């Protein structure tokens, strides 16, 4: 069963970015009809469903100016960025802070720390001498945002993922979604879409093999990237993978941004600091990889040297916000922050594509606009503002709500020919996995796809592995997708998500092949070309839909407004060593001239193997 509805703006994904987009669209024009589609539940969905302990990468004067943040972004992206888009975000940081205080009804100094002059107290840990991390006591953030969204009168559709954006004459015209609890479909005729569906966080596979044990919120499976691509949007930096440092076996980050500034040290087993850069950039990950390669793993987060007060502060924050099950995890493992080498750190295997933690995603400009009229992006799906984290989701989510509202005010609702037939056909195709009598369980196909992605795409990369990854993505799409059996509507969403995982995996492999250099430290380390090339300076790989499938294009980033450094200080290692020589004599006896004994068997038996179940014995 389906329903056809009308909305001036449809927001896909009700995380922090989507919630702020809804709030700002309503503020801009209270008469707008706004629909928010959330795969999950608005109050708890997304990466910050249990709140967050800080707003990261924020420029809050007088501690840090917008230009300072652009300087930092220019460095960690090694110049592959749109400085103007980053500057637009940086300018909006103070407003994002004020918005959160208002939405959460918290006084200044209560939600964020301030000094005696009333200035926000940010933490300097990004390595360029300016503070960008604003601590936050924000457990209830997401629920407060949801309350604010619902109070606007926006129509909120929980448990209703969007599955398709429809365009007419290359501009946004509609969105199809379905409810995973009751199987009802909704088609929204609309003028504008705010795409805030989060990262592609289910790409690789953690070593526990547990599909939902991801660093990123497991509901974020790259559907936003897939839908935007399908609608004609461009994506960038799909070769710049995110590999996170997290608690060994737990899905939580090590929270270096909480524990680090309070004195914790993340070191390898011989006590060396593995992080090159204090921020989680590609050079730091190269340092982590080095510890593993040199046999100096495991890594540990040590806090045993800290005064009890510091440890309690860290526990108060980490056990009460974001990934709170870490308390139980530590308890059951007998881990204690007060003991050395007690907390093991893991170099995550669940590779992701994330504009918040890194710089890949759907390309947007300084207004969050994509190349598809009416389609705006913000948050982890956005590749326009790199490393934007939660602060970026809030600031840029607000901006796209504003811009989408302005766009919708001047746009007509597109007429869609043959809509009912289209919806009918689309639903029939979409529900095929549900209607099969039998087939492959979704979890097996997802495991197959993600284990291939992990094995063939995890850096360091080489072209043969990347090509095999492409082969697997195509093969799974061709052979396994038509045979998936979904058990119910909840499971049907899984079948749909696998399509997104395969498409994003293909983009990751293809873009990694296309950028024939190495860059961003570990994130795009090509073993066959272990160096940055001058002709790739300031260039994106743009990934987009072509006539014959995905196409990749090299494009200069917009001209720099500031002449900041674009080079991090690291060097790709030369990987070669002498494993010894084979013995000179006696040389192994080879059968290069023919194996007459086996040839004799072939002559007698042909190529089939005789079925000698048991030796025949006489008598």
Partner 1 sequence: MEDADGGRFNESAYAWLEIDPERCNKCGICVDMCPMDVLHFGRKGYPYMRYRDDCWYCDVCTFMCPRQAITMTELPYLIS
Query: Which residues in this chain contact partner 1 in the complex, by CB under 8 A?
Result: 40-41, 43-46, 49-50, 159, 180-181, 208, 210-214, 217-219, 249-251, 323-325, 328-329, 332-333, 443, 487-488, 490
Task: Report in angstroms how near the CB of residue 493 gets to partner 1 at its nearest.
Answer: 9
Q: Cβ of residue 248: shortest distance to partner 1, in angstroms?
A: 9
CB of residue 180 to partner 1, shortest distance in Å: 6
Q: Is beta strand 375-377 parallel, antiparallel or unpaired with respect to 440-441? A: unpaired
Nearer to partner 1, 88 or 491 (CB): 491
Cβ 194 vs Cβ 12: under 8 Å: yes
Cβ nearer to partner 1, comparing 293 with 328: 328
Residue 410 contacts by C-beta under 8 Å, 6 or more apart in sequence?
none
Rank residues 68 and 380 by Cβ distance to partner 1 and give the closer one: 380
Contact 101, 112 (CB under 8 A): yes
Distance, CA of 329 to CA of 320 (rounded, Å): 14
Q: How far is CA 518 from the centre of its chain?
A: 20
CB of 595 to partner 1, least distance (A): 48
Identity of the residue, 83 or 214, whose beta carbon is nearer to partner 1 in the bound complex: 214
Q: In sequence order, what E strands does 159-237 have?
A: 162-168, 171-178, 185-195, 235-236
Give me the least distance between CB of 222 and partner 1, in Å please. 17
Residues 501 and 203: beta-carbon distance below 8 Å: yes
Residue 554 CB coordination number (10 Å): 13
Q: How far apart are CA 506 and CA 314, in angstroms?
A: 40
Which one, of 125, 79, 95, lies nearest residue 392 by Cα?
A: 95
Other residues' Cβ atoms within 10 Å of the Cβ of residue 371: 16
d(C-alpha 30, C-alpha 146), whole Å: 17
Per-residue burial over 486-506, b = 16 or more CB atoms within 10 Å of its CB, e = otherwise: beebebbbbbbbbbbbbbbbb
Task: Write down the residue that tokens 């008598």 correspond to.
Answer: 619
CB of 298 to partner 1, least distance (A): 14
Least distance in angstroms from the C-beta of 318 to partner 1: 12
Q: Residue 250 Cβ, how far from partner 1 at the closest point, in Å?
A: 5
- Identify which of residues 140 and 304 has a Cβ nearer to partner 1 in the complex: 140
Among residues 328 and 602, whose Cβ is nearest to partner 1?
328
Choose between 224 and 459: whose C-beta lies nearer to partner 1: 224
Q: How far is the CB of 48 from partner 1 (least distance, A)?
A: 11
Residue closer to partner 1 (CB basis): 46 or 54: 46
Q: Would you say 210 or 471 has its CB closer to partner 1?
A: 210
Between 51 and 282, name the residue whose CB sits nearer to partner 1: 51
The pair of structure tokens assigned to 42 is 């608005």
Q: Which is nearer to partner 1, 98 or 212 (CB)?
A: 212
Distance in angstroms (rounded) separating the CA atoms of residues 79 and 540: 10
Nearest-10 Cα torsion for 118, 120, 123, 126: -140
CB of 14 to partner 1, least distance (A): 11
Supply 302's token pair. Answer: 């040590």
Cα–Cα distances in angstroms (integers) from residue 462 to residues 392, 469, 475, 478, 512, in the given order: 33, 11, 20, 25, 9
Residue 432 CB, nearest approach to partner 1 (Å): 20
Rounded-to-integer distance, Cα 459 and Cα 470, Å: 15
| C-alpha to C-alpha distances, 351 to 40, 209, 543, nearest whole angstrom | 22, 13, 19
């Amino acid at each position: 069963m389906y329903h056809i509805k009308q909305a001036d703006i449809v927001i896909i994904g009700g995380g922090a970015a989507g919630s702020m987009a809804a709030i700002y669209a309503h503020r801009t024009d209270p008469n707008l009809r706004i629909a928010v589609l959330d795969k999950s539940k608005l109050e708890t969905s997304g990466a910050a469903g249990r709140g967050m302990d800080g707003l990261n990468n924020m420029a809050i004067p007088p501690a840090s100016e917008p230009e300072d943040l652009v300087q930092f972004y220019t460095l960690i992206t090694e110049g592959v960025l749109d400085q103007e888009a980053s500057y637009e975000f940086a300018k909006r940081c103070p407003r994002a802070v004020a918005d959160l205080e208002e939405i959460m009804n918290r006084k200044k100094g209560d939600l964020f720390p301030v000094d005696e002059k009333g200035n926000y107290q940010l933490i300097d840990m990004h390595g360029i001498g300016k503070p960008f991390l604003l601590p936050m006591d924000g457990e209830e953030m997401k629920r407060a945002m949801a309350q604010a969204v619902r109070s606007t009168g926006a129509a909120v559709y929980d448990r209703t993922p969007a599955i398709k954006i429809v365009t007419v004459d290359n501009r946004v015209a509609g969105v199809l979604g379905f409810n995973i609890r009751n199987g009802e479909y909704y088609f929204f005729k609309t003028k504008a879409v705010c795409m805030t569906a989060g990262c592609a966080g289910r790409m690789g596979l953690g070593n526990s093999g547990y599909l939902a044990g991801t660093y990123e919120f497991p509901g974020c499976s790259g559907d936003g990237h897939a839908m935007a691509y399908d609608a004609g949007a461009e994506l960038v930096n799909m070769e710049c993978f995110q590999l996170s440092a997290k608690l060994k076996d737990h899905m939580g980050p090590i929270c270096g941004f909480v524990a680090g500034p309070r004195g914790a040290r993340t070191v390898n087993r011989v006590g060396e600091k593995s992080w090159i850069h204090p921020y989680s950039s590609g050079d730091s990950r190269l340092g982590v990889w080095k510890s593993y390669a040199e046999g100096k793993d495991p890594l540990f987060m040590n806090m045993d040297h800290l005064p009890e007060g510091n440890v309690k502060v860290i526990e108060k924050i980490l056990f009460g916000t974001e990934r709170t099950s870490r308390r139980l995890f530590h308890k059951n493992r007998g881990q204690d922050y007060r003991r050395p080498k007690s907390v093991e750190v893991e170099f995550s295997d669940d590779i992701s594509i994330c504009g918040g933690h890194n710089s890949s995603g759907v390309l947007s400009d300084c207004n969050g606009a994509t190349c598809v009229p009416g389609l705006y992006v913000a948050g982890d799906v956005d590749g326009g503002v790199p490393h934007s984290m939660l602060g970026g989701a809030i600031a840029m989510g607000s901006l796209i709500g504003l811009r989408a509202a302005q766009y919708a005010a001047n746009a007509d609702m597109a007429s869609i020919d043959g809509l009912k037939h289209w919806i009918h056909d689309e639903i029939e195709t979409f529900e095929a996995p549900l209607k099969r009598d039998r087939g492959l369980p979704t979890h097996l196909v997802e495991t197959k796809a993600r284990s291939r992605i992990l094995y063939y795409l995890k850096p360091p990369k080489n072209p043969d592995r990347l090509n095999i990854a492409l082969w697997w993505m195509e093969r799974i799409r061709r052979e396994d997708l038509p045979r998936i059996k979904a058990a119910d509507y909840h499971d049907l969403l899984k079948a749909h998500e696998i399509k997104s995982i395969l498409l994003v995996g293909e983009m990751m492999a293809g873009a990694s092949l296309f950028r024939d250099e190495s860059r961003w430290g570990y994130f795009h380390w090509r073993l066959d070309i272990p160096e940055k090339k001058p002709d790739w300076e300031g260039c994106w790989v743009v990934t987009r839909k072509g006539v014959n499938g995905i196409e990749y294009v090299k494009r200069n980033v917009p001209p720099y407004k500031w002449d900041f450094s674009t080079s991090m200080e690291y060097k790709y290692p030369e990987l070669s060593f002498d494993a010894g020589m084979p013995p000179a004599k006696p040389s192994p006896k080879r059968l290069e001239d023919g194996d007459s004994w086996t040839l004799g068997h072939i002559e007698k038996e042909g190529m089939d193997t005789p079925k000698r179940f048991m030796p025949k014995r006489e008598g």
